[in-house]
Amino acid sequence: MLEAIGWIGSAILVLSLVQTRILRLRILNLAGCLVHIGYNSAVGVWPMVGLNVVLAIVNVVQLRKLLKERHADEGGYDVVPTDVDAPLLRHLLTRHHDEIVKLHGVEPADVPATEAYLVLRGDETVGAVLLDDAGDGTARLTLDHVVERYRDFTPGEHVFRRSGILAGHGYDRIVTRPGITGRTAQYYETVGFTRDTTTDEFVLAVPVAA
């Protein structure tokens, strides 16, 4: 039984290393370290206990940092306006075409948009937000896609609520398409949208620009 626990810990560590999502990688790696701390303590392999204690501490520190930055006002992400036909945006949408169709149920080339924004973390492009001007200060959110590596976080929130860029462009509310359910609905609720039961759309009042 003890040996089986050791193998399970090793399997969890290997599984963590093939994750593409940062948060999931850290959580699984921490779990594997904790299992190995228990296993190596039981069999008396103290150098491995020490190693896994150090790795567990590193994972805890990094998890706290990631979760803290998830809704950080500053220092996490940058929002960069771009043209709806900009080559970089089109490259991003083409590269992630299959994911966009699967997750959002739309063809990237057919998404209506009058404005586009790229979300960056450092030098890395982590997401794209497309909006269509519906008039009267309303922006219709037609696409909010995040690359898999950052999908456990909420980069789009920095476009909607924290950058001040939409208020600066004259928008006072954002609406989604109707009928959104499942994880996408949970995501919108996480970033502050509320469902309008009359239209079955999610709606967010755009914070006034500072």
Region 59-85: mean pLDDT is: 78
Percent of the chain with pLDDT over 70: 95
Per DSSP (E only), the strands in the chain are: 78-82, 115-121, 124-135, 138-146, 173-175, 194-196, 201-205
Lowest mean pLDDT among 25-39, 69-83, 172-186: 69-83
Residue 22 pLDDT greater than 90, yes or no: no
Give the CB-side neighbour count of residue 137, counting CA atoms within 13 A.
12
- Report whether pLDDT(151) > 50: yes
Cα–Cα distance, 65 to 12 (Å, whole number): 22
* C-alpha 151: how far from chain center: 3
Q: What pLDDT, on a 0 to 100 scale, did the predictor assign at position 117?
A: 93
Cα separation values, 8 from 34, 41, 46, 194, Å: 11, 15, 19, 42
pLDDT in tens, 29-52: 999 999 999 999 999 999 999 999
- Strand pairing category for 173-175 and 138-146: parallel
pLDDT at site 74: 47
Mean pLDDT of the chain: 87
Whether residue 11 has pLDDT greater than 90: yes
The string of pLDDT tens digits covering residues 123-150 is 889 899 999 999 999 999 999 998 888 8
Confidence of residue 71 (pLDDT cuts 50, 70, 90): low
Three state DSSP letters for 157-179: HHHHHHCCHHHHCCCCEEECCCC
DSSP 77-103: -EEEEE-TT-HHHHHHHHHTHHHHHHH
Residue 95 burial (CB count, 10 A): 12
Is the pLDDT assigned to residue 70 strictly greater than 80?
no
Global confidence as pTM: 0.72
174-195: buried (b, 16+ CB within 10 Å) or exposed (e) per residue? bbbeeebeeeeeebbeebebeb
> pLDDT, tens digit, for every residue of 102-124?
888 889 989 999 999 999 988 88
